[in-house]
Structure formats: C-alpha cells, structure tokens
C-alpha cells in the first residue's frame, strides 16, 4: 500500500485525454448529471435569447434618443423591458448555478458510494484496489467537479449557443459581421487547443525541476535537527534563498508560455470586436448600414466571445475535476469488468486438531516492478504445512515476504505459483467470506475506525454484547480500556497510544472466536509494558486455536511451537522450539 499522498494537482501524463470537454461516462454513470446537462442547455437557450433581446432593445433606446429625439417619457416601456431582461438574465444565472451545485452534490455522492463499494468488492475478490491517492480523490479531490458543473460546462454551452443565435439574428441585418464572427469564433477553441497542448507539454517538462526547487524549505523543516547539529543551518539559509529565486525564474519561464493561451484567447476576442466595430462604423458612414442595427451588433459582439473566454479561464479547474472523476471511473470499470460471481464454491472443511490445516505448496508471489520491465519476486517456492492447533512463528528480516504470506493465506492476492490448501481444499475454491470469518487478523498498522472503542472491538462481531467486548479486552490483557469502552476515538485511533491501538485490534481479532489467528508483528513499535502484557496474554489467546505470528521480538518467538525463518522469499530454516 502506498503511504504517500499527493493532491491531484500535477499535470497529467502526456497523451491523456485531459482536454476532452464532455466525458460521456460522467453523464452515463450519474443520473443527476444527465438531467443537469439538459437544464444547462435550457438555461443557455433562454440566456442567449435574453442577450439578443437586450442588445436590440438597448440599441433601440439609444437610436430613439440620439437620432429620433424621443422624449424621456416615451422610453419608459423600453427601459422597463431592458431592466427586466437583465433581471431575467440574473435570475436565469442564479437558477442555473443552483441546479449545477445540486447536480454536482448528487453526482459526487453517487460516485463516492460506488467507488467505496467497488473497492470493497475488489478487495473481497482478492485484488488490491484501494490506495491513499484514491481515498484522497474520492473524499476531497472530486469536489473539483463543482467547477466543472457550475462554471465550465454552462459556459461551454453558452459559448456554442450565443454565437449561434447572434449569427442567426445578424444575418438578417448585416451579413458582413456574420462573416467576421464565423471566421473568428472557431479560432478560439483551435488556438486554445494548440497553445494549451504546447503549454501543457512545456509545463510538464519543467514540473519536476520546479518541484525539486520548491522543496528547499521542506527539507530544511524536516532535516532541521541534522542541519543544526552539524552547524549547517546558516549555509542552508543561503540555499533556501537561492532555490527560491531559481524557482521563481523557472516558474516565470513556464508561466510566460502557459499564459499565452489566455493571451491569444483575449486577443482574438478583443481584436474581433474592434474589427467588427470599425467595419460597421465605416459602413454606417457610407450609409450602407443603419445606426440602430449597427449599435445592436456592437453591443452583441463582446457577448459572443465572453462565454468562450470564461470557459477558457475555468478550463484547468474543470479538468482537475474531470481528472478526479476519471480516476474513479477507472476503478468502477475494473470492478464491472470482473463482476461475474464464481459458482461452485465449497464450504470450509472441518479439520481435526493435529491434522494439516493450512498447507502451502511451492508458493511463489511476484508483481511487476514500477518500471514494468521486470517483476519483483516476493515469495519463491514456500512449502509450509501448519497443523490445526499449532503455533508457528515466522521470523526474518524486513521485506522478506512474511506479510505477503499472511495476506495470501487471507486470500488477498493469489500466489503466482504453487497453491494454498485449507484442509485439502484449494483456497481459491473456498467461499472467501466464510474462510475469512474463521480468521482473526491483526495487521502491522492498526486500522481503527472513528467511533467508540466498543465499536472498534465489535467491528467483526456486530452482535457482541458489551460484556463480550469487555471479556475480549480482558483476554488480551487490556483491562485498562474496559472503563473507556464508550469513549469516542478519532480517525486512525487518535486519543489512544500505539500500544492501546494494538490492544484494540487484537481484542477485535479474537472476539469472533476465530479458528485461525494471523498476527503480523503484534508487538512492533510499542512500549515494553504493552509488549509484556501481550506476551503474557498469549497462552490465553492461543488456546484451542491455530496461530501464525510474524514477529521480530524474541519474546513472541519463544512462545511458538515452531519457528520458520524466511529470507529473500524463501524458507531458510525451520526449527521446533524447545518451549513446551
């Protein structure tokens, strides 16, 4: 599992379909989204009509006062209409924004829920699915969809509809302006795409350098103690200053290119307005065009380009949202792809005490390395038979493959070679749910949910009474937590010490009375007191159970019937303990 968390702000890989404005999956997967698309188009139509009416009415008023010498009173009706048009545009805008945020809320909720279900389903099938990055995207990254729904998408719709309506209307009064608009409006997306692609590439290539430069302060913070011990703090100050200046220069070099797309957008828009203004001005002088339609065209011209410009400025925020959504679609699609439930699963066989329970025959496990060029061999030909009621300790250096072995027994991942049997039945023919329900697993990093201590202990046994919970805690030697059962602990067990967290997960593992206990370093990284308490609780916990313990501390190793040393993915020694 990756521990690093990065916000999805990095530019994406080259060749991604980042620039695709409308992803069909977004509207196919989420019901609220499709309805909102129609609402947006409806509002867009109404807004486009309002814009044109507003321009015509305004030009009419100016014409009446300027050329016809109309008395102010005679304008009242037209002014009321004009005011109503702007009020109406405001109301439309508001209504659209409200429905955008509602749609966004619905879509985010449905995506989150489906991703959580997909991750759990994938995990149950033995495939790794969740990661810190995905968790971050699903919880907060997806909020960037707000910008997509409320700003980008509607401006895109307006950007198509307003020029269309304006052109249709202008065609009736001044075809020449239509030509200018038809020639320039398409330039905007073309330029945006051209420069956007170039700028994106330039940004991406500079990204790593910039991140490295930007990290000067991070290193100073994290390595402060080392800097001060070796009296290198002063030298470091110069370095931070130098790196910051370098960072500024590099960033500015990037921005000069990145801002070009916005520049061209603006330039096309404003030059086009200027060209239209001069062109109609000249024709008005020559009497080829009346003042009133000319004025209306001038008022309309900036409105034609405005939505495209706004869509351009929201582009990156919106694409962050799409990016987040896409990484979630990917999870959903993999989950859908192997949705076929397997049939003919067998129940877990009964195994007598002393008979082979879990048997690994020539088990290997490897995964592709990050560069995809070769594979990483984690386990290599493991033969191990654990009899029912036996207590086996797995020892060996970090990274030897012990935790992988435990996960394979749980059915999280399948061996890439060899097989695992339970009482003579291959593990992948077993109903994974009922197999796991026989196992109590304590993994290296304690996993706690936010809730009470009792909630956490009871997680695998929802029917357990408070008395059951208390006796589970007593069994593992955590009597001190019994009075605190109702206490709420924060995320990741905030409020409990490391040792207490371990105690809670241990109690949780034994509460459903599992036949097999898989303990992955139950005493690592905790204080000696708790270690001693867990060790002394061991006989009580292990009685009548099969136990496989991954351990570094000798105190636990000594308690095992058999000690297996694993190094480099192989069993190097196996010894029977003199303990009992």
Partner 1 sequence: MRGFRRLIGSLRRYPWRFAGSIAAGAASIASSIGLLTVSAYLIARAALHPPLLDLSVAIVGVRFFGISRAVLRYVERLSSHDLSLRLLADLRTRVARALHRLGPAGVASFRAGDLVGRVLGDVDEIQHVFVRVIAPPLIAVVIAALTLLLALVWLPVSAFTILGPLLVAGVVVPWFTRRAGDAAGRTISADRGRMIGQTVEIIEGAPVIVALGAEDRLLAAADEAAERVAHAERRAAWMHGFGDAAILTLIGVSLVGTLWVSAVAVDAGSLDGVMIAVLAMLAVTPFESVATLPSAFERLGRSLGAADRLFEVIDGESPTAEADRPVPIPTEPTLAVRQATVVVANGDRVLGPIDLEIEPGMRVGVVGETGAGKTTLAHVLCRFLDPTVGTVTLDGVDVRDVASNDVRGFVGYEDDRAFLFRGSILGNVRIADQDASEGDVRSVLDGVRLGNWIDGLPDGVRTDVGEAGEEVSGGQRKRLALARALLADFPILILDEPISGLDPATADAVMDDLLAATAGRSLVLITHRPIGLDRMDQIVVMEAGTIVDRGTHPELLERSARYRSMWNAATGSGNR
Within positions 120 to 139, which residues make up the interface with partner 1, using CB under 8 A?
120, 122-124, 129-132, 134-136, 138-139
Q: Which of residues 517-546 bind partner 1 (CB under 8 A)?
A: 525, 527-529, 531-532, 535-536
Query: Cα–chain-centroid distance for residue 392?
Result: 39
- Say whether residue 237 binds partner 1 (CB under 8 A): yes
- Say whether residue 468 binds partner 1 (CB under 8 A): no
Among the candidate windows 94-102, 157-165, 188-196, 420-428, which touches partner 1 by CB under 8 A?
Answer: 94-102
Q: How far is the CB of 95 from partner 1 (least distance, A)?
A: 8
Torsion, CA 123, CA 128, CA 132, CA 134, rounded to 10? -80
- Say whether residue 277 binds partner 1 (CB under 8 A): yes
Residue (23 or 445) nearer to partner 1, CB: 445
Q: Which of residues 391-410 bind partner 1 (CB under 8 A)?
A: 395-398, 407, 410
- Say whether residue 447 binds partner 1 (CB under 8 A): yes
Q: How far is the CB of 58 from partner 1 (least distance, A)?
A: 6
Residue (15 or 462) nearer to partner 1, CB: 462
- Say whether residue 105 binds partner 1 (CB under 8 A): yes
Give the per-residue contact string, 252-271, with partner 1 (x = CB under 8 A; - = no).
x--xx--xx-xxx-xx-xxx
- Say whether residue 352 binds partner 1 (CB under 8 A): no
Integer Cα distance of 552 and 205 in angstroms: 45
Among 206, 391, 443, 501, binds partner 1 (CB under 8 A): 443
Q: Which of residues 370-389 bind partner 1 (CB under 8 A)?
A: none
Residue (17 or 543) nearer to partner 1, CB: 543
- Say whether residue 82 binds partner 1 (CB under 8 A): yes
Record the tokens describing residue 385, joined without a space.
């038979």
Helix (H) or strand (E) segment spanning residue 167: helix 153-173
Q: How far is the CB of 303 from partner 1 (least distance, A)?
A: 10
Q: How far is the CB of 575 from partner 1 (least distance, A)?
A: 14
Q: In what order do the strands lie in the sheet with 439-442?
A: 439-442, 516-520, 546-550, 391-395, 562-567, 570-576
Integer Cα distance of 59 and 303 in angstroms: 14
Integer Cα distance of 538 and 477 in angstroms: 9
Please say whether the dihedral angle defined by the alpha carbons of residues 459, 460, 466 and 470, taken in this order, is positive or negative: negative
Integer Cα distance of 433 and 563 in angstroms: 29
Q: How far is the CB of 175 from partner 1 (least distance, A)?
A: 18
User: How many angstroms separate the first and last alpha carbons of the chain?
Assistant: 37
Integer Cα distance of 471 and 469 in angstroms: 5
Integer Cα distance of 107 and 97 in angstroms: 15
Nearest-10 crossing angle of helices 291-337, 76-124 = 10
- Say whether residue 70 binds partner 1 (CB under 8 A): yes
Going by their DSSP bridges, the two strands 488-489 and 451-452 should be labelled as antiparallel
- Say whether residue 17 binds partner 1 (CB under 8 A): no
Among 462, 483, 543, 580, binds partner 1 (CB under 8 A): 462
Among 361, 364, 444, 553, binds partner 1 (CB under 8 A): 553
Residue (99 or 359) nearer to partner 1, CB: 99
Contacts 24+ apart (CB under 8 A), 262-266: 262/312, 262/313, 264/191, 264/192, 264/195, 265/188, 265/191, 265/192, 265/308, 265/309, 265/312, 266/309
Residue (129 or 202) nearer to partner 1, CB: 129
Among 377, 437, 444, 471, binds partner 1 (CB under 8 A): 437
Which residues, including other chains, have CB under 8 Å from residue 462's CB and lie 6 or more apart? Answer: none
Among 144, 158, 199, 459, binds partner 1 (CB under 8 A): 459
Q: Which of residues 477-496 bind partner 1 (CB under 8 A)?
A: 491
Task: Tokens 């009173």: give the residue.
Answer: 73
Helix (H) or strand (E) segment spanning residue 106: helix 76-124
Among the candidate windows 171-179, 436-444, 477-485, 568-576, which touches partner 1 by CB under 8 A?
Answer: 436-444
Q: How far is the CB of 15 from partner 1 (least distance, A)?
A: 26
Number of chain residues interacting with partner 1 (CB under 8 A): 155
Integer Cα distance of 155 and 265 in angstroms: 15
């Amino acid at each position: 599992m990756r521990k690093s968390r990065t916000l999805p702000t990095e530019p994406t890989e080259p060749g991604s379909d980042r620039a695709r404005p409308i992803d069909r999956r977004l509207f196919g997967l989420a019901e609220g989204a499709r309805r909102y698309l129609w609402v947006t188009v409806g509002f867009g139509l109404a807004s486009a009509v309002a814009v044109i009416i507003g321009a015509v009415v305004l030009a009419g008023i100016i014409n009446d006062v300027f050329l016809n010498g109309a008395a102010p009173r005679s304008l009242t009706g037209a002014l009321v209409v004009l005011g109503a048009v702007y009020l109406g545009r405001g109301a439309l805008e508001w209504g659209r924004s409200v429905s955008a945020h509602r749609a966004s809320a619905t879509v985010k909720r449905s995506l989150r829920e489906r991703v959580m279900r997909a991750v759990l389903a994938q995990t149950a099938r033995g495939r790794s699915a969740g990661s810190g990055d995905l968790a971050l995207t699903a919880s907060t990254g997806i909020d960037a969809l707000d910008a997509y729904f409320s700003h980008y998408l509607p401006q895109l719709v307006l950007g198509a509809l307003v020029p269309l309506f304006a052109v249709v209307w202008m065609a009736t009064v001044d075809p020449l302006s239509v030509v200018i608009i038809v020639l320039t409006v398409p330039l905007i997306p073309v330029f945006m795409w051209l420069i956007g692609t170039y700028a994106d590439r330039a940004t991406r290539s500079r990204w790593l350098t910039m991140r490295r430069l930007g990290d000067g302060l991070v290193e100073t913070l994290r390595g402060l103690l080392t800097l001060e011990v070796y009296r290198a703090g002063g030298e470091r100050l110069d370095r931070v200053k130098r790196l910051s200046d370098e960072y500024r220069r590099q960033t500015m070099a990037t921005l000069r290119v990145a801002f070009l797309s916005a520049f061209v957008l603006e330039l096309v828009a404003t030059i086009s307005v200027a060209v239209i203004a001069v062109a109609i001005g000249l024709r008005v002088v020559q009497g080829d065009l009346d003042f009133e339609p000319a004025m209306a065209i001038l008022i309309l011209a900036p409105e034609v380009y405005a939505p495209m410009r706004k869509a351009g400025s929201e582009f990156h925020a919106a694409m962050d949202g799409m990016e987040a959504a896409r990484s979630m679609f990917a999870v959903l699609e993999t989950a859908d792809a192997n949705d076929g439930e397997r049939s003919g699963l067998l129940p877990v066989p009964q195994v007598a005490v002393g008979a082979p329970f879990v048997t690994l025959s020539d088990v290997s496990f490897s995964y592709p390395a990050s560069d995809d060029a070769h594979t990483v061999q984690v386990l290599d030909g493991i033969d191990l038979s654990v009899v029912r009621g036996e207590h086996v300790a797995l020892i060996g250096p970090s990274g030897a493959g012990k935790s992988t072995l435990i996960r394979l027994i749980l059915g999280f991942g399948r061996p890439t070679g060899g097989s695992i049997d339970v009482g003579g039945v291959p593990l992948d023919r077993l109903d994974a749910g009922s197999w796991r329900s026989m196992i109590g697993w304590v993994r290296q990093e304690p996993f706690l949910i936010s809730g009470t201590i009792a909630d956490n202990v009871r997680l695998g046994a929802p029917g357990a009474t408070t008395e059951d919970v208390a006796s589970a805690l007593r069994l593992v030697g955590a009597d001190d937590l019994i009075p605190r059962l109702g206490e709420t602990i924060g995320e990741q067990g905030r409020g409990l010490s490391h040792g207490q967290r371990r105690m809670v997960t241990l109690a949780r593992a034994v509460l459903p009375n599992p036949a097999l206990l898989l303990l992955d370093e139950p005493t690592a990284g905790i204080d000696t007191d708790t270690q001693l308490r867990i060790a002394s609780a061991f006989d009580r916990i292990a009685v009548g159970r099969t136990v496989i313990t991954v351990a570094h501390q000798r105190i636990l190793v000594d308690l095992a019937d058999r000690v297996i040393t694993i190094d480099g993915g192989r069993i190097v020694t196996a010894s029977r303990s003199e303990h009992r």
